[in-house]
C-alpha cells in the first residue's frame, strides 16, 4: 500500500536548529510567515536562526514565493525535485509543499518537522548487492516519505548513503555520506569529480573526503563524506545563495564581489577565508570548472568555538570536457582569460595584501603543474578531447603566472 499523505494540506512546519525548537513556518494566502519562539530567542547558544534571519519576537512576513530564500535552498534539485513535483501533483513554485515532503535531514543544522506520521524506513540493501542506478530510479519513483531522504541540493544524481548498507572498510561509524552517480549524458562524471578532488588535495586545498565504490555490476559511484556532520552532530552551513538571502535560481547571477563582501561581514577571519575563496576560484579556472556557482560556495559555523569559516571545496568538476568552458561567476568582469592581475585587484578590494595573492598563486601553480595529468585519466575522452584539455590547462597556467 502506498503511503502518500497530502503534503499540500499541511500549512504549518516546526523549525529546528539542531535539536532546539526554534519556531513555526506558516503557509499564508500570499506567501508565508516565520515566528520564532521565546525559548529560542532567549537561548544564548545561537546568535541568530541563520546568517540573514536574526532573532526577533516579531513575525517575519514573506510575500510572494511561499518560502524564504534560506528554506528554498534546503530543497533538492534536478531529477529528485522534478519527481517530487510530479508525485505531489503540485507546481514547481509551491515550495512550501515541497519542503514538507522533502524530509527532515537537510544540509546544515536547520530542518523542519510536521505532524506527519512517517512510516518506518524500508529495508536497507547492501551496496554490493544492488545496481546503484536502478536503485536511484526506484528511490525517486517512490512516494515521498518512504525513505527518510537527505535533501541534497545539486543536479547530479545522488543517493543518501544512509539508504545503502556500506562495507565496514568503506563507511565509518558516526559519519554521513552521499553517493553520487553518473548521469546518462555524462558517463564519466564521478570519475571526473574524483580526479579533481585528488588534484585539489595535492594542491593543498581542503575538500570533502571521497572514494570510488562499485555496485554489483561494477558500475561506479562516488562516496562523499559529508562535512556538515561531525561525530553525529549537525553543523550549521549555508551556501552563498542562502547567506546572501537569494533564491537558488540566482546561483549563476550572484557576483563574486557580493559573495566575497558577505564573507567579509560574516567570517571570523575574513582575510583568510576570502583568500581561500580566491584560491578556489583560481583552481576552478585551472581545471576548467565552469560550474563554480553560488551554491557551490558555503560557510559553516564551528559548534564548539562559533568560528564562521569557508567550508572545504566540493562539487569540483572539469566541465571543460563537456564544452562548458567559461566560469559560472565573473571576477573583475571576466568569465574567461582571467589573469593573475585580476586576482590581485579583486583581493586588494577585500584588504588582502598583494604578496599574499602572489604566494598563494605561486604555490597553486607549482603544485597544479605537477598533478594536472590526473585529469587525463578520467576515461571516456577522445584524443582530441585530451589535446584540447591540455591546451586549455597550459594556456590558463600562463594566464595565472
pLDDT of residue 144: 47
> What DSSP designation does 123 have?
P
Q: Reduce the DSSP state of residue 330 to 3 states and report it.
A: coil
Answer yes or no: is 118 within a domain. Answer: no
Domain final residue, candidates 113, 136, 155: 113
Answer yes or no: is 121 within a domain. Answer: no
Phi, psi of 369 (to 5 degrees): -60, -30
Cell 536511484 found at? 136
Answer yes or no: is 119 within a domain. Answer: no
- If we measure between CA atoms, which residue out of 3, 1, 2, 27 comes closest to residue 13? 27
Q: Is 143 a residue whose pLDDT tops 60?
A: no
Answer yes or no: is 194 within a domain. Answer: yes
Q: Is 145 a residue whose pLDDT tops 50?
A: no
Q: Is 153 a residue whose pLDDT tops 60?
A: no
Question: Residue 103: CB partners within 8 Å, gap ≥ 6?
Answer: 144, 145, 147, 148, 149, 150, 151
CA 146, CA 72: separation in Å to the nearest integer? 22
Q: Is 359 a residue whose pLDDT tops 60?
A: yes
Q: Reduce the DSSP state of residue 67 to 3 states and report it.
A: coil
* Average pLDDT score, the chain: 88
Angle formed at CA 340 by CA 338 and CA 342, multiple of 5 degrees: 60
284: domain CATH number is 1.10.1070
> What DSSP designation does 120 have?
P
pLDDT of residue 148: 43
Answer yes or no: is 131 within a domain. Answer: yes
Are residues 150 and 217 both part of a single domain?
yes
Using CB atoms within 10 Å of the CB of residue 343, give its burial: 0 to 12 exposed, 13 to 18 middle, 19+ buried: buried
Query: Which pTM does this prediction carry?
Result: 0.91
CA 200, CA 44: separation in Å to the nearest integer? 38
Are residues 219 and 265 both part of a single domain?
no
Write out pLDDT tens, residues 264-302: 999 999 999 999 999 999 999 999 999 999 999 999 999
Higher-confidence position of 243 and 115? 243
% the chain with pLDDT above 90? 66
Q: Is 161 a residue whose pLDDT tops 70?
A: no
Question: Residue 221: CB partners within 8 Å, gap ≥ 6?
Answer: 132, 159, 179, 180, 181, 190, 212, 213, 214, 215
Are residues 248 and 353 both part of a single domain?
yes
pLDDT band at 2 (very low <50, low <70, confident <90, very high): very low
Write out pLDDT tens, residues 17-57: 999 999 999 999 999 999 999 999 999 999 999 999 999 99
CA 357, CA 90: separation in Å to the nearest integer? 49
Q: What distance, in Å, lies between the first and last C-alpha atoms of the chain? A: 63
Beta strands in 51-160 (DSSP E): 53-54, 60-63, 105-106, 110-113, 150-151, 158-160
Domain count, the chain: 3
Are residues 358 and 251 both part of a single domain?
yes
Are residues 217 and 254 both part of a single domain?
no
Are residues 151 and 23 both part of a single domain?
no
Q: Quote the domain boundaries for residue 68.
A: 7-113
Are residues 218 and 241 both part of a single domain?
no
% the chain with pLDDT above 70? 87
Are residues 248 and 186 both part of a single domain?
no
CA 30, CA 341: separation in Å to the nearest integer? 48
pLDDT band at 115 (very low <50, low <70, confident <90, very high): low
Are residues 207 and 147 both part of a single domain?
yes
Answer yes or no: is 86 within a domain. Answer: yes
Domain final residue, candidates 225, 253, 269: 225
Domain final residue, candidates 190, 225, 260: 225
Are residues 263 and 395 both part of a single domain?
yes
**Highest-scoring range by mean pLDDT, 9-18, 104-113, 146-155:** 9-18
pLDDT of residue 184: 80
When mean pLDDT is compared across 77-86, 295-304, 365-374, the lowest value belongs to 77-86
Grid coordinates representing 251?
546561483
Answer yes or no: is 149 within a domain. Answer: yes
Q: Is 116 a residue whose pLDDT tops 60?
A: no
Answer yes or no: is 327 within a domain. Answer: yes
Q: Average of pLDDT values for 369-374?
A: 98
Cβ(277)–Cβ(259) under 8 Å?
yes
pLDDT of residue 149: 45
Are residues 100 and 159 both part of a single domain?
no
User: Which stretches within 211-353 are classed as H helix?
Assistant: 240-243, 256-266, 270-287, 340-349
- If we measure between CA atoms, which residue out of 205, 235, 176, 239 comes closest to residue 316? 205
Are residues 279 and 354 both part of a single domain?
yes
pLDDT of residue 129: 82
Grid coordinates representing 84?
517530487
Q: Is 335 a residue whose pLDDT tops 70?
A: yes
Q: Average of pLDDT values for 235-256?
A: 97
Q: Is 1 a residue whose pLDDT tops 50?
A: no
Amino acid at each position: 500500500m502506498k503511503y502518500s499523505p497530502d503534503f499540500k494540506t499541511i500549512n504549518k512546519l516546526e523549525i529546528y536548529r539542531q535539536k532546539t525548537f526554534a519556531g513555526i513556518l506558516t503557509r499564508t494566502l500570499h506567501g508565508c510567515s516565520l515566528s520564532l519562539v521565546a525559548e529560542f530567542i532567549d537561548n544564548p547558544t545561537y546568535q541568530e536562526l541563520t546568517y540573514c534571519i536574526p532573532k526577533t519576537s516579531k513575525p517575519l512576513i514573506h510575500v510572494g514565493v511561499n518560502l524564504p530564500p534560506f528554506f528554498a535552498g534546503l530543497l533538492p534539485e534536478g531529477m529528485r525535485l522534478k519527481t517530487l513535483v510530479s508525485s505531489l501533483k503540485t507546481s514547481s513554485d509551491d515550495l512550501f509543499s515541497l519542503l514538507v515532503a522533502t524530509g527532515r535531514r537537510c544540509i546544515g543544522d536547520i530542518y523542519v518537522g510536521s505532524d506527519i506520521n512517517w512510516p518506518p524506513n524500508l529495508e536497507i540493501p547492501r551496496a554490493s548487492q544492488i545496481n546503484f542506478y536502478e536503485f536511484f530510479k526506484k528511490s525517486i519513483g517512490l512516494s515521498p516519505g518512504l525513505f527518510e531522504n537527505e535533501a541534497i541540493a545539486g543536479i547530479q544524481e545522488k543517493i543518501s548513503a544512509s539508504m545503502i548498507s556500506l562495507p565496514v572498510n568503506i563507511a565509518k561509524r558516526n559519519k554521513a555520506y552521499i553517493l553520487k552517480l553518473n548521469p546518462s549524458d555524462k558517463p564519466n562524471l564521478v570519475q571526473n569529480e574524483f580526479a579533481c578532488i585528488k588534484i585539489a588535495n595535492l594542491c593543498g586545498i581542503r575538500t570533502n573526503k571521497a572514494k570510488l565504490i562499485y555496485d554489483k555490476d561494477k558500475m561506479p559511484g562516488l562516496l562523499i563524506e559529508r562535512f556538515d556532520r561531525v561525530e553525529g552532530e549537525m553543523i550549521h552551513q549555508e551556501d552563498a545563495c542562502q547567506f546572501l538571502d537569494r533564491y537558488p535560481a540566482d546561483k549563476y547571477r550572484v557576483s563574486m564581489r557580493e559573495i566575497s563582501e558577505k564573507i567579509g561581514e560574516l567570517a571570523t577571519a575574513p582575510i583568510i577565508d576570502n583568500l581561500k575563496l580566491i584560491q578556489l576560484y583560481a583552481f576552478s579556472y585551472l581545471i576548467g570548472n565552469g560550474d563554480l556557482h553560488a551554491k557551490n560556495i558555503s560557510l559553516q559555523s564551528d559548534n564548539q568555538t562559533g568560528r564562521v569559516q569557508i567550508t572545504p571545496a566540493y562539487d569540483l568538476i572539469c566541465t571543460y570536457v563537456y564544452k562548458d568552458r567559461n566560469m559560472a561567476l565573473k571576477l573583475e568582469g571576466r568569465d574567461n582569460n582571467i589573469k593573475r592581475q585580476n586576482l590581485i585587484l579583486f583581493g586588494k578590494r577585500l584588504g588582502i595584501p598583494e604578496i599574499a595573492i602572489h604566494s598563494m598563486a605561486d604555490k597553486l601553480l607549482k603544485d597544479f603543474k605537477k598533478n594536472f595529468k590526473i585529469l587525463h585519466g578520467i576515461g571516456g575522452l577522445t584524443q582530441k578531447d585530451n589535446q584540447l584539455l591540455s591546451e586549455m590547462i597550459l594556456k590558463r597556467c600562463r594566464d595565472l603566472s
